[in-house]
Amino acid sequence: MATVYYRRWVQPPLETAAREGLVRDLGLQSATASVLIRRGIRTPDAARTFLSPSASDLLDPMRLNGMDRAVSRIRQAIRRSERVVVYGDYDVDGVTATTLYLDFFKSQGLEAGFYIPHRVKEGYGLNESAIRTLHNRGTTLLITADCGTTSVDEIRLASSLGMDVIVTDHHEVPSELPPATAMLNPKRIDSGYPEKGLCTAGLAFKVIHALTGRLETDGLDLVALGTIADVSPLIGENRFLVKEGLSQLTEARRPGIRALKEAAGLSEGPVKAGTVGFTLAPRINASGRLTDAQDAVRLLTTQSLEEARRIAQSLNLQNQQRQEIEGRILAEACARVESECDFQKDGCIVLASRQWHLGVVGIVAARLVERYYRPTILLAVDSDGLAKGSARSIAGFHLFEGLSRCRDLLIRFGGHYSAAGLTLREENIPALRERLSSTAFEMLSPEDFQPKQMIDASVAWEDLTLRLVGELETLAPFGPAHPEPTLLLREVIPVNPRIVGNNHLKFSVKKPNGMAGAFIDVIGFRMGDRMAILRDGAPLDLVFIPERNRWLGREQIQLRLKDLRVSGDA
């Protein structure tokens, strides 16, 4: 029987001297200084740079291996008014990178075309039929956006037909590189570029910077969308790109962004990383998941607000349909995990069905990882017995490497450390499950199969002020490699615990023997199953994210719960 695990709390030792230096020199609260040190920021100068990222932090794009060849070939295409096509992916990163290229070419007086494959009919990446179709339309230069790194045969075909191909991609790089005119991928061993965390939208921004010779921030709204949606690390260059991009998303000068925010019911407040991840990105992704992503590109490229509103409403409807399909598949997948999986023997989850929608299995795989904390593959099998799907991983298990050990069972695969796509024959699914499970047990220790709850700092009751919340807010944007700060508060008494909304846990806490009326509110989203811990009123230890709660004109601190346990329990 499968098990839902509770988290193991981890609070690494802290460099006290470095924390005291940040507190003294920058006037920070101790908890804020602790968070910075956990992120590897130990000196006042490094902290100032982190707190105020600027365009001067960006690296020279010409350091990317192949950039000189890409720039030369694209400039030639512009001079000769060639037929250029951007071949994108159907996810947000591919859509935004495609849009960046199309906007650039339009600014240069060249109307480039674009091609996004149909997820279900064509699958991920370049394919022979599309290559031949584009050749017949007179295409002489193909620029990929979020694909192409593993497309050796397809790019060889394009070359034989007289098409040049420039690959811009950020997926893991195989031993054999495709014979492209230029192969831009920051993960190339010989890339010469120290920042490995750029998504393709960020890479496209770099290409345009190299082409124009000017650092212009137009288009960072698209870079922020792609970076956040693709779960790229929000450190290094990405920190500036996303921070500036979020400001542009808040302004919504692009008609498509304005219409998308309207359709999603967003207020006029600031757009944060979470707004992108949970509200904007799913709507952009919706068309690529259920039909094709061409409407998403049209949404972001149109200058007509009327057209943008029409497309945004359509994407909104498709997103609702996606949520309904996702809910059905998730319920079925969880039931199968509970009945079929034995985590003493199964190092991973591999499930397949002929009734599942290919466009949604990746989202459901991520949900299963959250619930069961096992590397997970979900596959949709077609009538010909071809299984296509998506994989998601856990910390410590390099998914691309794991699948590489199963390459003889697979028709094709590609991806990164934590996410991948794959295709195989239905009859090979049991062998894939067995081998990947063995690989997981080989690569991971028993502790690795228990999720960790990282703790940035311990705080006292008196530390919990709106001033602390304000300081922590200056560390945004938050995301991979720089998550929201998590604090630990020990031995507080729960008051009035209850379930609200969709299984949310709500209560207040007070200090033991504390002043009457001195309470802090706590909310644990989707944590109603932890209600039993609070019923006897025993003192609790809480791991949480402090935030502002505005209600009826009053602003108070609220603790957004990440985990809890009875004080004294290990």
In this structure, what CATH number is given to the domain that contains residue 271?
A: 3.90.1640.30
Q: What is the mean pLDDT of residues 371-375?
A: 95
> Using one digit for the tens of pLDDT, what is the confidence trace for 519-544?
999 999 999 999 999 988 899 999 99
330 falls within a domain: no
336 falls within a domain: no
Q: Which of 194, 191, 256, 200 is nearest to 227 (CA)?
A: 200
């466009």: which residue's tokens?
359
Question: How far is it, in rounded angstroms, from Cα 198 to Cα 196?
Answer: 6
pLDDT of residue 1: 43
Helix (H, G, I), strand (E, B), or coil: what is residue 7? coil
Q: What is the mean pLDDT of the chain?
A: 94
In this structure, what CATH number is given to the domain that contains residue 508?
A: 2.40.50.460
Question: How far is it, in rounded angstroms, from Cα 190 to Cα 81?
Answer: 32
Q: What angle do CA 170, 197, 394 make, to 5 degrees?
A: 90
Q: Which of 142, 16, 29 is nearest to 474 (CA)?
A: 29
pLDDT of residue 514: 63
Q: Does 103 have pLDDT greater than 90? A: yes
Q: What is the mean pLDDT of residues 557-567?
A: 95
With pLDDT > 70 as the criterion, what percentage of the chain qualifies? 98
Q: What is the mean pLDDT of residues 545-549?
A: 95
pLDDT of residue 517: 61
Same domain, 150 and 172: yes
Question: How far is it, in rounded angstroms, from Cα 419 to Cα 151?
Answer: 18
pLDDT of residue 515: 63
Q: What is the mean pLDDT of residues 65-93?
A: 97
pLDDT of residue 5: 55
DSSP 167-185: EE--SPP-SSPP--SEEE-
Same domain, 347 and 422: yes
Q: Per residue, what are the HEC states of 292-341? A: CCHHHHHHHHCCCHHHHHHHHHHHHHHHHHHHHHHHHHHHHHHHHHHHHC
Same domain, 84 and 187: yes
Q: What angle do CA 155, 357, 387 make, to 5 degrees?
A: 55
In this structure, what CATH number is given to the domain that contains residue 431?
A: 3.10.310.30
> Using one digit for the tens of pLDDT, what is the confidence trace for 295-340?
999 999 999 999 999 999 999 999 999 999 999 999 999 999 999 9
266 falls within a domain: yes
333 falls within a domain: no
Same domain, 421 and 538: no
209 falls within a domain: yes
Where a domain ends, among 393, 419, 449? 449
> Which segment of 40-49, 244-253, 269-278, 505-514 scores lowest on mean pLDDT?
505-514
Question: How far is it, in rounded angstroms, from Cα 104 to Cα 385?
Answer: 42
Q: What angle do CA 134, 89, 333 make, to 5 degrees?
A: 130
Same domain, 162 and 296: yes
Same domain, 68 and 39: no
> Which segment of 140-144, 165-169, 548-552 scores lowest on mean pLDDT?
548-552
Same domain, 472 and 562: yes
2 falls within a domain: no
Structural domain boundaries, residue 243? 57-317
Q: Does 22 have pLDDT greater than 50? A: yes
> Using one digit for the tens of pLDDT, what is the confidence trace for 107-117?
999 999 999 99
Where a domain ends, among 449, 480, 503? 449
Residue with more model confidence, 516 or 405: 405
Give the phi and the psi of residue 542 in degrees, each rounded to 5: -120, 135
> Using one digit for the tens of pLDDT, what is the confidence trace for 382-430?
999 999 999 999 999 999 999 999 999 999 998 888 899 999 999 999 9
Same domain, 302 and 417: no
Same domain, 303 and 404: no
């740079």: which residue's tokens?
49
> Using one digit for the tens of pLDDT, what is the confidence trace for 203-224?
999 999 999 999 989 999 999 9
Q: Is the CB of residue 131 less than 8 Å from the CB of residue 87? A: no
3 falls within a domain: no
Q: Does 552 have pLDDT greater than 80? A: no
Q: How far from 384 is each of 65, 272, 421, 505, 535, CA to CA, in Å?
A: 41, 44, 19, 46, 54
Q: What is the mean pLDDT of residues 484-503?
A: 95
pLDDT of residue 333: 97
Same domain, 464 and 526: yes
Where a domain ends, among 384, 417, 449? 449
331 falls within a domain: no
Q: What is the mean pLDDT of residues 436-446?
A: 95
Same domain, 398 and 358: yes
Q: Does 516 have pLDDT greater than 70? A: no
Residue 9 pairs in a beta bridge with 453
Same domain, 306 and 164: yes
């240069």: which residue's tokens?
108
Q: Is the CB of residue 395 less than 8 Å from the CB of residue 376? A: no
Q: Total structural domains in the chain?
A: 3
Q: Does 274 have pLDDT greater than 60? A: yes
Neighbours of 450 (CB within 10 A): 13
> Using one digit for the tens of pLDDT, what is the confidence trace for 459-472?
999 999 999 999 99
